[in-house]
Chain A
Amino acid sequence: MDTTRRPTDELLDVARVLLRVQSAVLVATTIEALIWNLVFPGAAGTPFLLTGVAAVLVLVAGARLRANRSRTRRIVYVVETVILVNLLIDLVLAVVITGHVPPIVALLTRFVLPLSVIALVRQSTRVTVTPIAVSPLEATS
């Protein structure tokens, strides 16, 4: 068993878990979009498709995220940026129309989560790769 772990691995561990939860939220939203599409047929299924694609991309990216996989990192950046831009539009609308920010859970899943993922993935590419450490998680297993 490989017991050598770089600091980048530990940051990517966190990013992977966040991506896993984010993909679960996106899968739930995709199923909701499918149901709403039956109630409001006018939306033509585009939101359902877009959310489904995002869910799959995040799920796959979460499974394949490694320090040396720049393509996976780029996919993560693109999906997270789309989610953040979407939230930005909603935030502006909410503040202008109601004077309130969106609900807390919306801020957690669409601001804190994507921003944390971007920060962790970016940080993992910046951390020096020289120090070798043994993760306490693996040391105890």
Chain B
Amino acid sequence: MNSLLAHVDHVIGAAGGSPLYQIGAEHLAGLIALIALPIGALILRRRGTPDLTPLQWLLVGLLAASAAIHAGLAVSNDHGDGLSVLFIVDAVLLGLVARRVLRGSPAGRLGVAVLIGSIGAYWLSALRGEAPDQVGLATKLIEILALAIVVQPASGQSRLRSVTGVVAIVIFALGTATSSWIGAFRAAAAEPGAVAGHHVHAGSVAPPGTIFPAVPPRDATPAERAAAAEIVESARIALARYADPAVAAADGYHVNGLAGIDFHAANPAYEHDDRVLDPAHPETLVYAVAPDGRPVLMGAMFLMPKIGSPGPTIGGPLTVWHAHQHVCFSLTPPALAGLLSPLGACPIGTIDVPLTPEMIHIWIVPGAPEPFGDLDEAWKRAYLQAIARRP
């Protein structure tokens, strides 16, 4: 069963990507439990359908769906016995509230308490570093909608209560999104090497928006170390001329608006020239602006020509390529605009780019702690400060 679930994990989400955009194998049982809903509906129909409004029916459906998912998660028992018990308690309470609404009574304070408790428990779990996934997020969305129905004021009630209800729902949506971001990044940071892109190993949790290929946990061979050192040295020599952004601009790099400490200047002409990891023709140059305003060439980013083509790992585990997933790209003007929200939306006016070609950074600045992967932010700032102090 576990091997089947593990397989499904890779089928449903992009392997090596953030759990935030995937269905975790351990949560699949929750989705399977949703099959209970149509069965329950059939039984209800045979017994005679209660006379409820569409809003009450929707509330019953939402509560029953959340109860079924929690029951499924408890049965799959991948979260430990303590959490399984909590899932069962949650499922029972949600079922009780659904039963109450089904009998024509309002969900009342019990309904509010159960829903807020369930959403709050999710926040706590995410803030403690549990990686959120699509099943958890969909369940919270269902509960937020149920809460919106429960706190909906009946006609004739005060405007203040209506406004309070709207504010509460906004806070719950915002809290769910925030805790999910924190949980996703904390889970990635808890895996050593997952962010640095250096000692990436199978089982690492990728941060949102990034896909790491699974790399066997081994040290680089002497030949791989030599190859990695050689490509860095070649890049250092070949890219020296681009220290002046004007030269880079003349060769087609987009250096306009150079700012910040991680400015990527792309050269569209090199993106489709079929040259792979050519130190003399990187697809993107990476600049930083020193505190005195001086532009500093930090390194280059090499891009594979096609999405899905794996980059050549000439340095073995030292040269791990990565891709990006669910990047929001603005069309007005064309620019990077963020990552797909845990609530499922990119900002309006942007498109969700589901996957990019693989890429790798090579840092040519002397003394860089990592010649490949992510360059440490603190080191980068200290280096730029030192540059600014030079005459």
Contact = CB atoms under 8 A, between A and B. Distances in A.
A140 B52 CA distance: 12
Interface string A1-32: 11000000011011011101101111111111
Given A11-B54, A29-B345, A33-B337, A93 B352 contact: yes
Give the interface size bracket for A toward B: 35 or more
Contacts of B326: 103
Contacts, number: 209
B350 A47 contact: yes
Interface string B131-148: 000110110010011001
Contact of B154 (A97, A110, A141): A141
A109 B343 contact: yes
B275 to A, nearest CB: 22
Contacts of B141: 21, 105, 108-109
B21 A47 contact: no
Given A44-B333, A140-B106, A105 B343 contact: yes
B340 interface: yes
A59 B166 CA distance: 9
A43 B330 contact: yes
Contact of A93 (B134, B152, B353): B353
A83 B74 CA distance: 36
A43 B337 contact: yes
A136 B148 contact: no
Interface residues of B, number: 68
A135 to B, nearest CB: 6
Question: Which of A2, A42, A54 neighbours the largest number of chain B CB atoms within 10 Å of its CB?
Answer: A42
Interface string B53-89: 1111010000000000000000000000000000000
Interface string B320-357: 00000010101011011111111111111111111100
23 contacts: A11-B54, A13-B53, A14-B54, A17-B148, A25-B343, A27-B173, A28-B341, A36-B339, A37-B338, A41-B259, A43-B350, A44-B335, A47-B337, A47-B338, A54-B348, A82-B348, A94-B352, A97-B353, A104-B344, A105-B141, A105-B343, A110-B345, A136-B56
Interface of B: 12, 14, 21-23, 51-56, 58, 104-106, 134-135, 137-138, 141, 144-145, 148-149, 152, 154-156, 162, 165-166, 169-170, 172-174, 176-177, 257, 259-260, 307, 326, 328, 330, 332-333, 335-355
Q: Which 7 A-B pairs have the closest CB atoms?
A: A36-B338, A42-B335, A47-B347, A106-B344, A24-B173, A105-B344, A33-B347
Interface of A: 1-2, 10-11, 13-14, 16-18, 20-21, 23-33, 35-37, 39-44, 46-48, 50-51, 54, 59, 63, 82-83, 86, 89-90, 93-94, 97-98, 100, 102-110, 135-138, 140-141
